[in-house]
Amino acid sequence: MVSLIEQIDKMTSQNVLVSDATKSEINMAIAVAVSNSALFTTAAQKPPVGPGGFITISRKKLLQNLEIGGAARLNTWVDSMKASSPTHIKSTPSLCQDQSSWILHHPSALEMFEQITKASKGKQIVMFLDYDGTLSPIVEDPDRAFMSDAMRATVRKLARYFPTAIVSGRCRDKVYSFVRLAELYYAGSHGMDIKGPSKGSKYKNGAHQAVLFQPASEFVPMIDEVYKALSEKTKSTPGAKVEHNKFCVSVHFRCVDEKKWSELALQVKSVLKDYPKLRLTQGRKVLEIRPTIKWDKGKALEFLLESLGFANCTDVFPVYIGDDRTDEDAFKVLRERGQGFGILVSKIPKDTNASYSLQEPSEASYGFFATLGEVEKIVAAKAVQSEKTV
């Protein structure tokens, strides 16, 4: 079996790109909230409802609707921007029913903790954590998304027992400035900038002290250009914030008046039309501009597992916790591997490949992380005691 690392040089040398500009726009629109969408105007046109009350859309159907024209594509962008906004979620009997159904399919990781520990017994747990919305709350100013001291202390304890990685869309240096734990692995820019721990990890070796992988290095000049163009173009939209994440660019619209979202979408579109080698995806009130190479958080997870020596192991148990659409790539990888599981942090039902759920970051810190660490601490203590008695 060819390993992921062995495939990397082949992938980058072939310069794998999505040449169709329309396909780039589809990636952002896949999870559109169809109930509010202009794509389907009559009941007969609406797609079928999947398990748990969630609407499913075929990729071919969405492609056909996106090809209607520029106005339709723009409406799709704005609809998707609305779909990422919790302010559009209203409490209704139907929503409560959907949430109950969703919880049955994605039960609380805290309530299912005993089953989780049984499944991981005798296996090496490896932790993968998103940052925004998982280790820190979602805030209006992305530069002030600080994690609490309690969360930092909990993650530090977690890393004593398990290899632990932060996988974020943010610039790796920015994430490190928030977390400030040198014993962790960091994968910034949606996994396009990976570096191992610099100290304090029993899992590191000499190779991990340097940058492990930067598959999008050739795109840095292009990303710089787009960042400057978007910064200038969006100046006229109050509240818009453009963030340079080294290998990708984020356009935050959390503080933008909803009436200005169409205007912002047009501004972003006008810049991206000149860059067919970049694609647009979307997170929680943020538009993400990324290279079209076949690399994402799921690939980063696989790379890190292989770097740690767990690529083809049956006794590894990866756990990925995240709250965003971009985390779905990692959730999907775990499902396909049939190892470990994904945990989605969300207060509302979402179509997801995660197996379990948590309501908010505090549940992860004071609940799941803390309990997992204590269980491993007890197991480690028993192992030491057993060695002493032999």
pLDDT confidence of 88, banded at 50, 70, 90? low
When mean pLDDT is compared across 30-39, 257-266, 361-370, the lowest value belongs to 30-39
Q: What is the pLDDT of residues 331-349, one digit of tens each?
A: 999 999 999 999 999 988 8
pLDDT for 141 equals 92
* Range picked from 64-68, 91-95, 367-371 for highest mean pLDDT: 367-371
Pairwise CA distance, residues 383 & 266, whole Å: 60
Q: How far apart are CA 309 and CA 306, in angstroms?
A: 5
What is the DSSP secondary-structure string of 27-59? Answer: HHHTT--GGG-SS--SGGGSPPB-GGG-B---H
In this prediction, residues 141-162 reach a mean pLDDT of 92
* pLDDT for position 96: 63
Contact indicator for 108, 341 with CB cutoff of 8 Å: no
CA atoms within 13 A on the CB side of 330: 34
Name the phi and psi angles at 317, rounded to 5: -135, 85
Q: What is the pLDDT of residues 289-333, one digit of tens each?
A: 999 999 999 999 999 999 998 988 999 999 999 999 999 999 999
Q: How far apart are CA 342 and CA 127, in angstroms?
A: 10
Reported as a pLDDT band with limits 50, 70 and 90, residue 362 is confident
Report which of residues 343 and 15 the model is more confident about. Answer: 343
Does 1 or 289 have the greater pLDDT score?
Answer: 289
Q: Which domains does the chain have, with CATH numbers?
A: 124-214+295-388 (3.40.50.1000), 217-291 (3.30.70.1020)
Range with lowest mean pLDDT among 82-96, 115-129, 177-191, 229-243: 82-96
Would residue 130 show up in a list of annotated catalytic residues for this protein?
yes
The answer on pLDDT for 375 being more than 70 is no
Number of Cβ within 10 Å of residue 146's Cβ equals 15
DSSP strand pairing (241-244 vs 124-129):
unpaired
Q: Which of 79, 130, 132, 329 is catalytic?
A: 130
Residue 203 CA to residue 117 CA, distance in Å, equals 22
Residue whose C-alpha is closest to residue 142's, from 227, 222, 240, 262: 240
Say how far apart CA 191 and CA 214 lie, in whole Å.
8
H-run or E-run covering 331:
helix 328-337
**pLDDT for 70:** 57
Answer whether 296's CB lies under 8 Å from 190's CB. yes
Give the residue from 183, 123, 238, 178 showing the smallest Cα distance to 361.
Answer: 178
Average pLDDT, the chain: 78
Query: What's the confidence (pLDDT) of residue 81?
Result: 73
Residues forming beta bridges with residue 345, ordered by sequence position:
358
| Residues sharing a CB contact under 8 Å with residue 54, sequence separation 6 or more, in sequence order | 98, 349, 351
